[in-house]
Chain A
Amino acid sequence: MEGANWRRWAGYTVASSYELLHDREYHAIRSSAALLDVTPLYKYLVTGKDAARLVDRVIVRDALHARVGQVMYTCWCDSAGKVIDDGTVSRLGDETFRITSADPSLRWFALNAAGLHAKIEDVTESTAALALQGPNARAILQQLTGADLAHLKYFRVVSTTLRDMPVQISRTGYTGDLGYEIWLHAHDALAIWDALIEAGTPYGIVPCGMLGLDMARIEAGLMLLEVDYVSAHRALIEGQKSSPYELNLGWAVDLKKEWFVGKDALALEAARGPAWRFIGIEVDWENLERLYAEVKLPPRLPAQAWRVSVPLYVEGRQVGYATSGCWSPLLKKYIALGHVEAAYGNPGSRLAMEVTVEHRRKQAAATVVPTPFFNPDRKRA
């Protein structure tokens, strides 16, 4: 396997793709099933009498009233209301939560826990996580577990066994498709991986690396820390920080909660309106074709998702920047995620994205569109 097919993720080495090309892996997500090792996610277990209180004061959503078995996608902020990280919070019991994050978060939770009766445990090493994503995910997984997956609703988690090994199965994922994430003891990971491959082979299961996942997550409109936004804890200047409202996560901010870190600043911003918006962008195909036609070439499209800052313009003035994008083989569209000044963020707004056509910078016409770009019914059904 060639070296370029490995990459770093949170201190682990993971496969960019298991095959030399990643497109079969991407297509499996949308057409059959893909199995991904997402173990490098940071995972924390919060337990104790004040566990719900601690989680509630850190995240922007309401954790006090979350039901056991509920999973919440949320972000958390510093006291100025700028996003530090995003991840999922699963209520596993009355006094037990599991939190996943992209950056190490133990210290932040520990600082917040001062005076509270709550214990935070880093279970990143001891807990493995596998994501089974795609239209056939349920059929494959159901063969291996007694849990009733047909009735496991979107963003719910259940404790069960998989071939007699204790696991938790959540109906979540990073692909915007029907899919599950399986949380298990690290020492069972190989056995469960093999079991899933074995049960999934008749259904076309394919191990999938980061390149395939990256395209799927852009189609699903899901942002990525350090790619699409900078953590308030890592930002070197104020201008690099974003609020939840600026990241299109305003829906998650629960200002009715009595207090949480950043609430005061967020209440002000909610009243004032955000300065920036995080948007989906669809590049106008005809226009792109024409730009290439000028140099007598057919449009050249990125084979992989890109992760660089690309200027966005309105009438020649830069109004924002795209942070990741790809050609969607499924939708046959060139799509991207980006930040624009709030005034230009409404769906239907016209703007232009910089493209390099045969070494020369051009501006391709584009439209702001709602995300997700691809949102199949099976995701929630």
Chain B
Amino acid sequence: MAANRYDAIVIGGGHNGLIAAAYLARAGRKVVVLERRERVGGAAVTEEIFPGFKFSMFSYVVSLLRPEIIRDLRLPEHGLQILPLESTLTPMENGDYFAAWADHDQTRRELLRHSALDAEAYDEYGRLMYHMAHAVKPILGMVPPDPASLRPRDLKGMLAVGNHFRSLGAEQFHAMFKLMTMSSADFLDEWFETDVLKATKSASGIIGTFLGPRSPGTAYVLLHHYMGELDGVFRAWGFQKGGTGGISEAIAASARSLGVAIRCGQTVQKVREKDGRVRGVVLENGDEIDANIVLTSLDPRRSFLELVDRKALPDEFVADISRFKFRGSSGKVNLALGALPDFTCMPGFGPHLRGAMSISPSMDYVERAYDDAKYGEFSKRPYMDIVIPSLIDPGMAPPGKHVMSVFVQYAPYNLNGGWTDAKREAFGDAVIGAIERFAPNIRSCIEHRQVLTPLDIERITGLSEGNIFQGELALHQLFFLRPAPGWARFRTPIRNYYQCGSGTHPGGGIMGASGRLGAMAVLEDHA
């Protein structure tokens, strides 16, 4: 059956799966992507949840998509269009606010209101982070070597990593070491005195993690904000026109143009394996598809503990994957608004509404939000990152109406007593209540609301425990430890079964690097 035989099968039609498929097709392989849902995109989808209101249902902003992928796959020609997100407003408990604007001088003036020293430290900090992002970038594009292996390839890799860090010079090397090990709170304390500034910055260090701003290991994520700038992209954060699903559509269109077959509504039940070698997949409906190469863009738990017969895997590997931590910690509330919210600290309509609104009024506020989650409750007063995409992209909502996307942390997957419909609504109420403290009219603006818990995220997208990064970005789950020691090179213990999801290095965010590196690993082995 020629129709059911391919050079390679990619399991999962999220952005990484599509990117991997596109790269393989670009190299002349016959590839099929199998997606369980009726649409591609995974967690990067746009859906018209309420008539006329379109939402980036899960992932809502983009900055990290690797520029080489945009170039190689010619994504702008296939519909990629990023609209800049210009500012961040943080309302404070005392009615004041902190705002960061696209215009540097304007931000400086705003900072001067809070602290003259911080206004200067801000620029110096920005330069340091620029340096750090520059230093990390080659690591993100690198296949992690195995530090415990004595093979020449790994030794060479370790030497390359070592030399790279040594080449940074003492000052930057030390800063890098601190970034990798410190908490964002401690790291920011070394630079700033303004609490609300630190709270807002540190909030970006906890997104998607089950950690608080005072937990070591969160400083590193601060870097992400500076990553995009390296590639000459000014104002790197933005929305995809038409919602985040547009990115997936663009990648899918590019993949199709390269000859990739994309089959939606096809759930893979098992990866077929014989004599330690992959043979193809079996679908839920019993169909079999043959290929000598299979790539999985699913998370490590699904890829190895569900799709594969455990007996085909070494015990140690199974143990490593079993203890790989997911612990989804974020929820999403999508609101259809009949009118715009009015923030007490900056009343009326203004440019601030076109940017992000960060509900992170103080360091303690964010830390307390974490405390709730630590013991199995959703945050009574959560940290939230709010955007109103319809102000930048009017097509997202009916004229005069708006869509509001509220990213919420923390909502632990393992809620005490488990998630129920009642708990979901209580969580939604907590979110609205917390927004109401800063924008009192919010309740009257809401026409519809959708509340997504980590359990919902898991159910809809398949991401284990609703973890948006396919596995926590903790120090002991990064680089050569992602997803398991010895198996960070995109290969797996089953021959010709490859990983290309964000559960591998470098992980998380709509970066696409894992998809690309996974495809590269295939092409390296099957030149």
Contact = CB atoms under 8 A, between A and B. Distances in A.
Interface of A: 8, 11, 104-108, 110, 122, 233-234, 236
Contact of A107 (B108, B117, B127, B131): B117
Given A107-B121, A107-B124, A8 B116 contact: no
Contacts of A106: 116-117, 120
8 contacts: A11-B108, A104-B120, A104-B123, A107-B117, A107-B124, A108-B120, A233-B127, A236-B127
Contacts of A105: 120
B105 interface: yes
Interface of B: 105, 108-109, 116-117, 119-121, 123-124, 127, 130-131
A195 B121 CA distance: 39
Contact of A236 (B108, B120, B130): B130
B119 A104 contact: yes
Contacts of B116: 106, 122
Nearest to A110: B117
A256 B361 CA distance: 51
Contacts of B117: 106-107, 110
Contacts of B127: 233-234, 236
A117 to B, nearest CB: 19
Contacts of B120: 104-108
If over half of B's interface residues share one DSSP class (helix, strand or loop), that class is named, otherwise mixed; here it is helix
Contacts of A104: 119-120, 123
A367 B354 CA distance: 55
A233 B124 contact: yes
A236 B127 CA distance: 8
Nearest to B134: A236
A110 B116 CA distance: 11
A234 B131 CA distance: 11
A104 B121 CA distance: 10
A11 B124 contact: no
| 3 A-B pairs with the lowest CB-CB distances in the bound complex, closest first | A107-B120, A11-B105, A104-B120
A110 B121 CA distance: 11
A11 B124 CA distance: 17
Given A11-B105, A107-B121, A234-B127, 6 more contacts: A11-B108, A104-B120, A106-B116, A107-B117, A233-B124, A236-B131
A49 B120 CA distance: 26
Given A106-B116, A234-B127, A236-B130, A11 B109 contact: yes
A236 B229 CA distance: 14
Given A106-B120, A107-B124, A122-B116, A8 B131 contact: no
Contacts of B105: 8, 11
A110 B127 CA distance: 19
A105 B124 CA distance: 11
A122 B117 CA distance: 10
A59 B147 CA distance: 48
A312 B11 CA distance: 58
Contacts of B124: 107, 233
Nearest to B105: A11
Nearest to A238: B169
A11 B116 CA distance: 14
Nearest to A8: B105
A79 to B, nearest CB: 11
A108 B131 CA distance: 20
Contacts of A107: 117, 120-121, 124
Among B119, B120, B130, B131: residue with most chain A CB under 10 A = B120
A108 B123 CA distance: 13
A105 B119 CA distance: 11
Nearest to A13: B105
A31 B178 CA distance: 58
A356 B119 CA distance: 41
Nearest to A107: B120
A122 B130 CA distance: 27
Contacts of B131: 236
Nearest to B117: A107
Contacts of A110: 117
